[in-house]
Amino acid sequence: MCSKFMRFFKKDKSGENLPSTREIMQEIDVIKKNFRKHGFFLDLFRKEVLEKFEEKRTKDVEHFFELAEAFFYHNRLLRELPNISSSQQEALAIVWHKLEASLSSVGIEIIRRVDVDFDPRLYEAVEKVAEGDGRPVVKKIIQPGFVYEGRVVKPAKVIVERENFESRE
Amino acid sequence: MKDIICGIDLGTTNSSIAYLSEGKPAAIDIEEGSAVVPSIVSLDEVTGQIVVGRYAKNRLAAFPEHTIKSIKRLMGKEVKVHLGERTFTPEEISSFVLKYLVERAAEKVGQAIRRAVITVPAYFNDAQRRSTIRAGELAGLEVSRIINEPTAASLVYDHVSFLDKTDSPYILVYDLGGGTFDVSILEVKGEIKEVLASCGDTALGGDDFDERLVGFFLRHMKERTGVDFSNASRALRVRLGEIAEKAKISLSDVPYIRVTEVGLTNVSSEPVNLDLEINRRDYEDMIRDLVQKTVEKVEEALEEANLNREDVGNVILVGGATRTPLVLETLSGMFERPIYHSVDPDLCVALGASVQSGLISGEPLGHILLDVTAHSLGIKTADEIDSESMDADYFSIIIRRNTKIPVRKGEVYYSMVDGQESVDVEVFQGENPSCKENTRIGRFLFPLEPSPARSPVVTEFAYDKEGIVHITVDQKGYNNRKEVTLDVRKRKIIEPGGAQEQKILNYIIEKSRRLIEENSLPSDLRKELEELTNRYEGAIREDEKEGLIDEYENQLLEKIEEVEERLGTVG
């Protein structure tokens, strides 16, 4: 803020240096102006802080999504290897557990479950294998989805299977 | 509950709805914060209910026999559409989309919606238009009017406050969506806008841009592994498509991106990853022929309308794919006039339909105040040399005129000689390819680390709403960056620490300009406020004495306070 305040005169014993009414009014005007400008400053500051906060929050969440996605794909390829040992599988499960707990602490839930009923709120089917009349089941996750603070921000892209009703029974 | 008329863009792939909020068009968020809704309908055979939008899209591959998309292509035809065991007409299917939009919109705005203006492509025949009206009626709407999509887009721009007026009555509307391209030429005849020509390509759009990137990734994977993935599984194609779309969006703003993706597939038990850099120029080379195809259609439309390029007064961009810088650049080169692209290209048609609804109902329409760049902003480069002074004289644009702010855009430039010691960064604003004809608004030196000729230097402009541009210059690969702040209004570099003070001054001006646009402001107050704002802004720009600026500022602040009290907007 660059506005300058005028200086009040000190009152001496004789009262000769008392500021005039005009000077006091001028001083009040300066103070009023500074209040007004301060209001603008606060307004702008509030706007900027809110925008920065929202921007940071969105970026932070996106970083989590990226990390979770990267681990999802890495995990899947490792599990597809022919000679993966049970302890390696166990290690992957432990990392998943820790990652999901961390995501949950910031309000994120990853959608990656398979062999569950297809729910169009959480999953987007991009392919269907096996024609049948039964309820479709999620067979493979092509891309994981995310729920953030209870809201589906991205449904998981999946391959579904519709078995015959009788065979599922 | 008050009854309102809304405007609906009933699209082939997506639809949207807008209404007039205090005289200004506003799109309504329908699904998870998005105003854009997939035009897809599905029958849930378990509940017997019709579902629409994102939910229906998610069901498409799982229940193809119960789900339908792109119903617009069947409008006006005597066909039956089967969803499971039930049969519908195209009008009925469209009515489900309309009903969904209207019901969700009414919930959001808390007002009943019984009437609507619906848009259709300019090439729709009478049967298709009647079919659209019928769809509206089946949705329980009174269709106040059917208007052409390009007409709707141009209606929005009629009410945008910053636009220059042109003498030409001809408007070209370039609409490049995800899967289709349309170009139309309108002639303004008083209050009427007549479509003179309309043509396009029903199989060309932004999705084709993604496909080119997917092809690039597949070639890269083949180079690395020796395996041809061109017949890749659907799963791999879907994933590559997602990566391509993200890359395309990023490349609209920055000159380079790094794509890092883990585990696309396995080859001999080894994961195939993507870790590569793509620069915008290479990407533009991939899609150049596609953009050229649209140019040919534009030429075709001009020929059909019996017009030359110079006859066109305004060029308006519609459709998400027009965010690709190459599109804007190509059209700017073609028409040598400002291209209008500030209104969200995905919502422009629905917003225009809502403007039409306001015109029908007699609702007072205010000016649409958009925060846009008044001039193109860029730097001087040596791509052209002034023949008299032999100095560099090419104006390389980084942010184009009328771009919505805040915005962040970057470009890459190259050093000229081996061991070049520095770059003289001169920032200009204007529209002429020659810097001499534009206005210089700042200049600073950027020292370079020793490097060979043609070393890339990335220059990024981040333009905020207060007219401050944060410039970052980065000598790529040398950990050498410089950040400078520039005040566009004052046309000068701001010293470190001075940006905040300058922002406040600019914010005062912005706030005042917003108040001037308030419909309910009495005209005498508006005039006074406008005069004080112009005087204050002029004094800042001309770097007048501090005392004078202070005095003008004081008067302006008092007036703003008075206006706010009058409008009851304080606090």
List all residues of chain A from 78 to 117 with a beta carbon under 8 Å from chain B.
Answer: 80-82
Whole-number Å distance between alpha carbons of B555 and B434: 40
Question: Contact B239/A121, CB-based, under 8 Å?
Answer: no
Whole-number Å distance between alpha carbons of B391 and B380: 10
A154–B contact, CB cutoff 8 A: no
Taking CB atoms and an 8 Å cutoff, what residues of chain A touch B59? 120, 125
Residue B500 pLDDT: 67
Host domain of residue B21: 3-153
Residue A110 pLDDT: 97
User: Per DSSP, what are the bridge partners of residue B51?
Assistant: B42
Question: Contact A121/B58, CB-based, under 8 Å?
Answer: yes
Residue B131, domain member (yes or no): yes
Taking CB atoms and an 8 Å cutoff, what residues of chain B touch A81? 266, 269
Question: Contact A43/B62, CB-based, under 8 Å?
Answer: no
Residue B369, domain member (yes or no): no
Claim to verify: residue B133 and residue B180 sit in the same structural domain: no
Question: Closest partner residue to A124 among B57, B271, B560, by Cβ?
Answer: B57
**Res A3 pLDDT > 50:** no
Handedness of CA B87, B91, B97, B103 (dihedral sign): negative
Residue of chain B nearest A3, judged by CA positions: B550
Model confidence over B298-336: pLDDT tens digits? Answer: 999 999 999 999 999 999 999 999 999 999 999 999 997
Residue B16, domain member (yes or no): yes
Q: Burial letters for A149-163: b for 16+ Cβ neighbours within 10 Å, e otherwise?
A: eeebebbbbbbbbbb
Claim to verify: residue B417 and residue B516 sit in the same structural domain: no
More confident residue, B438 or B489: B438
Claim to verify: residue B236 and residue B99 sit in the same structural domain: no
Whole-number Å distance between alpha carbons of B529 and B517: 11
- Listed residues B451, B471, B496: the one ending a domain: B496
Question: Residue for token digits 């915005």?
Answer: B407
More confident residue, B439 or B465: B439
A1–B contact, CB cutoff 8 A: yes
Claim to verify: residue B512 and residue B447 sit in the same structural domain: no
Residue of chain A nearest B570, judged by CA positions: A39
Claim to verify: residue B187 and residue B330 sit in the same structural domain: yes
Stretch among B169-183, B196-210, B527-541 having the lowest mean pLDDT: B527-541
Residue B249, domain member (yes or no): yes
Residue of chain B nearest A139, judged by CA positions: B62
A118–B contact, CB cutoff 8 A: yes
Whole-number Å distance between alpha carbons of B500 and B312: 43
Structural domains in chain B (count): 4
Residue B352, domain member (yes or no): no
Claim to verify: residue B525 and residue B437 sit in the same structural domain: no
Report percent pLDDT > 70 for chain A.
Answer: 86
- Edge to edge, the sheet with strand B192-201 lists B192-201, B181-189, B170-176, B312-318, B339-340
Residue B393, domain member (yes or no): yes
Residue of chain B nearest A121, judged by CA positions: B55
DSSP structure class, residue B97: H
As a whole number, the mean pLDDT across chain B is 90
Taking CB atoms and an 8 Å cutoff, what residues of chain A touch B560? 36
Residue A13 pLDDT: 54
**Average pLDDT over every residue of B43-60:** 94
Residue type, B392: A
Report percent pLDDT > 70 for chain B.
Answer: 96
Model confidence over B426-436: pLDDT tens digits? Answer: 999 998 999 99
Model confidence over B257-292: pLDDT tens digits? Answer: 999 999 999 888 888 999 999 999 999 999 999 999
**Res B496 pLDDT > 60:** yes
Alpha carbon of residue A2 to chain centroid: 38
**Average pLDDT over every residue of B477-498:** 82
- Listed residues B153, B179, B200: the one ending a domain: B153
pLDDT band of residue A165 (cuts 50, 70, 90) is: low
Length of chain B as a residue count: 571
CB B175 within 8 A of CB B208: no
Question: Residue for token digits 């402001």?
Answer: B521
**Chain A closest-CA separation from residue B155 CA (Å):** 31
pLDDT band of residue B481 (cuts 50, 70, 90) is: very high
CATH number of the domain residue B68 falls in: 3.30.420.40
Claim to verify: residue B430 and residue B505 sit in the same structural domain: no
Q: Burial letters for B192-231: b for 16+ Cβ neighbours within 10 Å, e otherwise?
A: ebebbbbbbbeebbbbbbbbbbbebbbebbeeeeeeebee
Taking CB atoms and an 8 Å cutoff, what residues of chain A touch B504? 1, 37, 40-41, 44
Claim to verify: residue B520 and residue B473 sit in the same structural domain: no
**Res A77 pLDDT > 60:** yes
Question: Beta B192-201 vs B468-475: how paired, if at all?
Answer: unpaired
**Average pLDDT over every residue of B94-104:** 97
**Average pLDDT over every residue of B408-413:** 93
CB B285 within 8 A of CB B215: no
Residue B363, domain member (yes or no): no
Question: Contact A44/B55, CB-based, under 8 Å?
Answer: no
Residue of chain A nearest B57, judged by CA positions: A124
ipTM for the assembly: 0.79
**Average pLDDT over every residue of A146-165:** 89
Nearest to A136 by CA among A144, A148, A146, A124: A124
CATH number of the domain residue B383 falls in: 2.60.34.10
Claim to verify: residue B122 and residue B168 sit in the same structural domain: no
Residue B348, domain member (yes or no): no
Residue of chain B nearest A76, judged by CA positions: B263
**Chain A closest-CA separation from residue B29 CA (Å):** 14
**Average pLDDT over every residue of B15-40:** 92
Residue A123 pLDDT: 97
Claim to verify: residue B303 and residue B325 sit in the same structural domain: yes
Residue A6 pLDDT: 45
Model confidence over A85-130: pLDDT tens digits? Answer: 999 999 999 999 999 999 999 999 999 999 999 999 999 999 988 7
Question: Beta B339-340 vs B312-318: how paired, if at all?
Answer: parallel
Taking CB atoms and an 8 Å cutoff, what residues of chain B touch A157? 238, 242
CB B447 within 8 A of CB B244: no
Model confidence over B113-145: pLDDT tens digits? Answer: 999 999 999 999 999 999 999 999 999 999 999
- Listed residues B444, B470, B496: the one ending a domain: B496
CB B112 within 8 A of CB B2: yes
Question: Contact A128/B261, CB-based, under 8 Å?
Answer: no
Question: Closest partner residue to A76 among B61, B263, B269, by Cβ?
Answer: B263
Claim to verify: residue B21 and residue B115 sit in the same structural domain: yes
Whole-number Å distance between alpha carbons of A23 and B563: 27
Claim to verify: residue B410 and residue B390 sit in the same structural domain: yes
Stretch among A40-44, B133-137, B172-176, B372-376 having the lowest mean pLDDT: A40-44
Query: Could you tell me how many helices (H) and strands (E) chain A has, helices first?
Result: 3, 6
Residue type, B517: E
